[in-house]
């Protein structure tokens, strides 16, 4: 299923605190400077319309959330959503998540990494573009804090199984741990818009969670 068209953004919204570029991120890294407070940081890769960012930030106000979305129009839409609800503990970055992980985030800096319904790049010759590649998974291992979590969901069974196999080879993360589908109490009570579409259509969603257990440098004993 492709993405649906976006609603128009209120032009009066100030997005300056919620829409960032890779170049504007603090270097050396200082997560507290982004949100004017120190707090555990969680990063979502491929935020789309930003439903997870909004709901997670509201549900866990004691954490900070940074979403990364490569498509400018979706990054801007998600940022506008956060600005509209005056969310102080979440912001969007428009740019390449692999670059952010590789060039910006330091070792053991994240409480969680969230990857929900990434582009499956259906054609075999395009599989190398998938986000769940060896280089990215190595970066996830590096940036997670001890007891940090990787959450990976997709609606593509083959992609799910291949990704779990690569996680087992490339990282020392414990898992996968099963994740149950939480009952939805209202029309937007889903982790992402894509999960909502899948479940309303009675289509399968494959969910997994991994945990970083080792506490040595770069996750090694």
**Pairwise CA distance, residues 202 & 198, whole Å:** 6
Name the pairing type of β-strands 90-94 and 174-177. unpaired
Helix (H) or strand (E) holding 57: helix 51-59
Q: For residue 22, give Cα distances in angstroms to 67, 138, 219.
A: 12, 20, 26
Residues acting as catalytic residues: 119
Cα–Cα distance for residue pair 192/144, rounded to 1 Å: 22
Contact between 83 and 109 under an 8 Å Cβ cutoff? The reply is no
Contacts of 165 (CB under 8 A, 6+ apart): none
Longest dimension (CA), the chain: 52
Q: What number of other Cβ atoms are within 10 A of residue 204's Cβ?
A: 12
- Paired tokens of 206: 């494959």
Judge whether 48 and 192 are in contact, CB under 8 Å. yes
Residue of 82, 24, 19, 20 whose CA lies nearest to 50: 82
């Amino acid at each position: 299923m492709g993405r649906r068209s976006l609603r128009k953004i209120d032009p009066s919204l100030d997005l300056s605190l919620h829409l960032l570029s890779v170049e504007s991120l603090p270097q050396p890294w200082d997560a507290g400077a982004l949100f004017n407070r120190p707090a555990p940081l969680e990063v979502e890769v491929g935020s789309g319309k930003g439903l997870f960012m909004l709901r997670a930030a509201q549900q866990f106000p004691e954490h900070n959330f940074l979403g990364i979305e490569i498509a400018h129009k979706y990054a801007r839409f998600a940022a506008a959503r956060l600005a509209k609800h005056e969310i102080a503990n979440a912001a969007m970055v428009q740019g390449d998540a692999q670059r952010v992980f590789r060039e910006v985030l330091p070792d053991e800096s994240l409480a969680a990494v969230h990857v929900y319904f990434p582009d499956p790049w259906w054609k075999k010759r395009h599989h190398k573009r998938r986000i769940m590649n060896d280089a990215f998974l190595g970066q996830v291992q590096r940036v997670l804090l001890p007891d940090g979590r990787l959450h990976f969901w997709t609606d593509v069974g083959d992609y799910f199984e291949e990704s779990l196999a690569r996680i087992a080879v490339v990282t020392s993360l414990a898992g996968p741990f099963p994740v149950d589908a939480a009952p939805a109490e209202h029309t937007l009570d889903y982790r992402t818009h894509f999960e909502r579409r899948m479940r309303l259509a009675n289509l399968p969603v494959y969910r997994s969670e991994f945990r970083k257990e080792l506490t040595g440098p770069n996750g090694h004993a």
